Amino acid sequence: MRSKHSTNTHHVNLYFQVHQPRRLGQFSFFDIGTGRDYFDDGLNQIIMRRVAHECYLPTNLLLLKLISLYPNIRVTFSISGTALTQLERFAPAALESFRMLAATGSVEFLSETYYHSLACFISQEEFATQVSLHRDKIKQLFNVEPAVFRNTELIYSNEIGKMVYDLGFTGIFADGSDFIMGQRNPNNLYNHPQQKELTLFFRNCSLSDDIAFRFMQKNWSAWPLTPKKFTQWLESFPIDENITTIGIDYETFGEHQKRDTGIFQFLEGLIATLAKHKTLRMTTPSEAIELISPKDVVDVCQPTSWADREHDLSAWLGNEMQQDAFETLKSLGSTVLKSERPEVIATWRYLQTSDHLYYMSTKTGDDGNVHSYFSPYASPYEAFMNYMNIVSDFSSKVQRVKSTELTTSLTAA
């Protein structure tokens, strides 16, 4: 099927992922039982303020300038709850610039799990709770209610799609890798195989990575990447391909790729070109759902993601260390939730943040280099030991809470 309103328009959905984990401090075996804090919020403050200075503030101000010039600009953000909390604490000016973008009406905010976690593999209830917490935070900060969902690291399957649909969302994002798409093209909307009202957006991996990873590679055959060249690629798509989703980390601008690479000039030129284009139209996900008819259904039985060459869960659960860490934390859930102690529950959820598992990856090659780039640890084994020391200490605290509550209950009886 073609666009409901125009057979000549090719829609472009440009969305940015904004995420900063709450990083852990160094926690040795000898720190267990000492009462030492798990989180290095001094480091978190330094990193958040640096990223806000290098990326969030200048890029947001650039978007605000462009939107004032071209009101038809549309962009999409997915901001994790852990990033929002740290923006509130450490970089309020950057948070205010996101509020200013929200006020333009040109930006759509997606929902996700508050703690950027793998909650979808813990329980449906925990997943729903974290999604609700994030929805409430977006409403509180930006006065909008997200209608479209983006799961942590674009992790998606039919089962996850059903959970998201049951929570009232109209669309969900996934990665358009060959593993998922097969002979299909990511430059269309699709439907969930059972929940036909749920629209699936598939990220165009190649074009997204051209900006996020290949922009600085001088040995790349298409280097240098210019707004004109990128726009020509979008123009070349056949008429039956009606939407291209470009999804990248927001930190690409100014943090991963520094200002002197020309990345800001590229972004400004690309958005201005799209805003003035006659047949390319920038579109938010909710607008796309209204304007474009899904082409087909896509059946995704096994979980997929946007990470690494495999586009599966191996970035977080690919080795025994990662699996042990995740299952150990997961096993504490019932006791943690029964405690009804907000500080205990919040700590358990912060420990769920997917980055902690990502740092434990033992992959080599290009994927291994990316894991190492983001990791604050000297090795995945150090990441594992540090995490498990914290989980061991936290488990002891949880058991003490349980024991205290049992004693209190017996005394009251």
287 shares a domain with 328: no
Q: What is the pLDDT of residue 367?
A: 77
286 shares a domain with 183: yes
277 shares a domain with 152: yes
**Structural domain boundaries enclosing 46:** 10-297
HEC readout, the chain: CCCCCCCCCEEEEEEEEECCCCCECCCCHHHCCCCCCCECHHHHHHHHHHHHHHHHHHHHHHHHHHHHHCCCCCEEEEECHHHHHHHHHHCHHHHHHHHHHHHCCCEEECECCCCCECHHHCCHHHHHHHHHHHHHHHHHHHCCCCCEECCHHHCECHHHHHHHHHCCCCEEEEECCHHHHCCCCCCCCEECCCCCCCEEEEECHHHHHHHHCCCCCCCCCCCCCCHHHHHHHHHCCCCCCCEEEEEEEHHHECCCECHHHCHHHHHHHHHHHHHHCCCEEECCHHHHHHHCCCCEECCCCCCECCCCCCCCCHHHHCCHHHHHHHHHHHHCHHHHHHHCCHHHHHHHHHCCEHHHHHCCCCCCHHHHHHHHHHCCCCCHHHHHHHHHHHHHHHHHHHHHHHHHHHHHHHHHC
Mean pLDDT of 334-360: 96
Considering only CA atoms, give the Rg of the chain.
Answer: 22
390 shares a domain with 243: no
Looking up residue 124, the CATH number of its domain turns out to be: 3.20.110.20
Residues forming the active site: 153
391 shares a domain with 290: no
357 shares a domain with 231: no
397 shares a domain with 249: no
The model's confidence at residue 7, banded by pLDDT at 50, 70 and 90, is low
200, 228 Cβ separation under 8 angstroms: no
- Identify whether 323 is part of a domain: yes
- Identify whether 319 is part of a domain: yes
332 shares a domain with 199: no
- Identify whether 385 is part of a domain: yes
pLDDT single digits (tens) 164-222: 999 999 999 999 988 888 888 999 999 999 999 999 999 999 999 999 999 999 999 99
293 shares a domain with 353: no
pLDDT single digits (tens) 108-152: 999 999 999 999 999 999 999 999 999 999 999 999 999 999 999
Report whether pLDDT(293) > 80: yes
123 shares a domain with 91: yes
- Identify whether 261 is part of a domain: yes
Q: What is the pLDDT of residue 406?
A: 43
- Identify whether 50 is part of a domain: yes
pLDDT single digits (tens) 206-259: 999 999 999 999 999 999 999 999 999 999 999 899 999 999 999 999 999 999
140 shares a domain with 274: yes
- Identify whether 413 is part of a domain: no
Final residue of a structural domain among 297, 332, 365:
297
- Identify whether 389 is part of a domain: yes
| Domains held by the chain: number | 2
